[in-house]
């Protein structure tokens, strides 16, 4: 089933949304590279779920609202987004920056969330564990550092970038810098409130993640009551792309278990 594209106005922001499939709702929040295309793992998930993939405010084809200053603003936006679509018992999945947004949502309000899955999530800081700095990486370094499998990195680098794609990349990076430049990709207060997450939580990490090292998985696990952690071997920052079969089977099994 091909995804449907629409524009929805939420909190005064015209937002680009991909959607496909039937079943329980799954809201996927993308990372800092955006969601300008419908990726294969999204298509596979749509065979089991009603998959909803918005482009965040400030990213891609979505507007950049005046009110957007922090990840906390983004979290409140997505709580309004859930209300706008009338979603309930939604499976909330976020990767990297999207995981940080999802965690900020969950500490505020879990009333419409059935489960939470954080994939290589930003949002907290560990002393002595150095993150990668995507703001300082070149495009080639970024591609190579996001993947363990360098054949995938090479495939990504081989895709030509037209003017529209370049403008989207610049827009996405500007918004990411606004949200995560200082401090780098974390909220100094978030760790204090992760205990408020009251839904089943799955943490997925690539063992070779060079952006947000795998040591952050146990740190999140310690802070979120009852959270489960799965570390995927021979995988970088994007398990949903690099190890889609493992990612999908783990996510599906987890959501099925939470529905019992």
Domain hosting 79: range is 4-258
DSSP secondary structure, 35-101, as one string: --S--HHHHHHTTTSEEEEEPPTTSTTS---TT--SHHHHHHHHHHHHHHHT--SEEEEEETHHHHH
Of 38, 96, 100, 35, which is closest to residue 74 (Cα–Cα)?
A: 100
**pLDDT tens per residue across span 117-161:** 999 999 999 999 999 999 999 999 999 999 999 999 999 999 999
Q: How many domains does the chain fold into?
A: 1
Check residue 224 and report its DSSP letter: S
CATH number of the domain to which 71 belongs: 3.40.50.1820
> Helix or strand or coil: residue 207?
coil
Are 170 and 228 in contact by the 8 Å Cβ rule? The answer is no
Note if the pTM is more than 0.95.
Answer: yes
pLDDT in single tens digits along all 260 residues of the chain:
799 999 999 999 999 999 999 999 999 999 999 999 999 999 999 999 999 999 999 999 999 999 999 999 999 999 999 999 999 999 999 999 999 999 999 999 999 999 999 999 999 999 999 999 999 999 999 999 999 999 999 999 999 999 999 999 999 999 999 999 999 999 999 999 999 999 999 999 999 999 999 999 999 999 999 999 999 999 999 999 999 999 999 999 999 999 87
Nearest CA-CA partner of 243 in 148, 102, 111: 148
């Amino acid at each position: 089933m091909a995804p449907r594209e629409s524009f929805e106005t939420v909190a005064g922001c015209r937002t680009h949304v991909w959607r496909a499939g039937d079943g329980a709702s799954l809201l996927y929040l993308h990372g800092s590279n955006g969601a300008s295309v419908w990726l294969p793992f999204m298509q596979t998930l749509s065979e089991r779920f009603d998959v909803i993939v918005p482009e965040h405010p400030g990213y891609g084809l979505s507007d950049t609202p005046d009110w957007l200053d922090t990840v906390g603003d983004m979290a409140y936006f997505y709580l309004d987004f859930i209300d706008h679509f009338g979603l309930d018992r939604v499976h909330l999945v976020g990767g990297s920056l999207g995981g940080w947004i999802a965690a900020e949502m969950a500490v505020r309000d879990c009333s419409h969330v059935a489960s939470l899955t954080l994939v290589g999530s930003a949002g907290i800081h560990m002393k002595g564990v150095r993150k990668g700095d995507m703001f300082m990486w070149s495009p080639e370094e970024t591609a190579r550092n996001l993947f363990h499998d360098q054949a995938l990195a090479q495939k990504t680098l081989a895709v030509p970038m037209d003017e529209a794609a370049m403008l989207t990349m610049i827009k996405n990076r500007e918004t990411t810098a606004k949200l995560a430049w200082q401090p780098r990709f974390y909220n100094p207060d978030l760790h204090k409130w992760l205990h408020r997450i009251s839904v089943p939580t799955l943490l997925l990490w690539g063992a070779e993640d060079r952006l947000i090292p795998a040591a952050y998985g146990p740190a999140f696990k310690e802070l979120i009551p009852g959270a489960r952690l799965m570390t995927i071997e021979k995988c970088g920052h994007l398990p949903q792309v690099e190890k889609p079969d493992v990612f999908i089977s783990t996510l599906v099994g987890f959501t099925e278990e939470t529905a019992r």
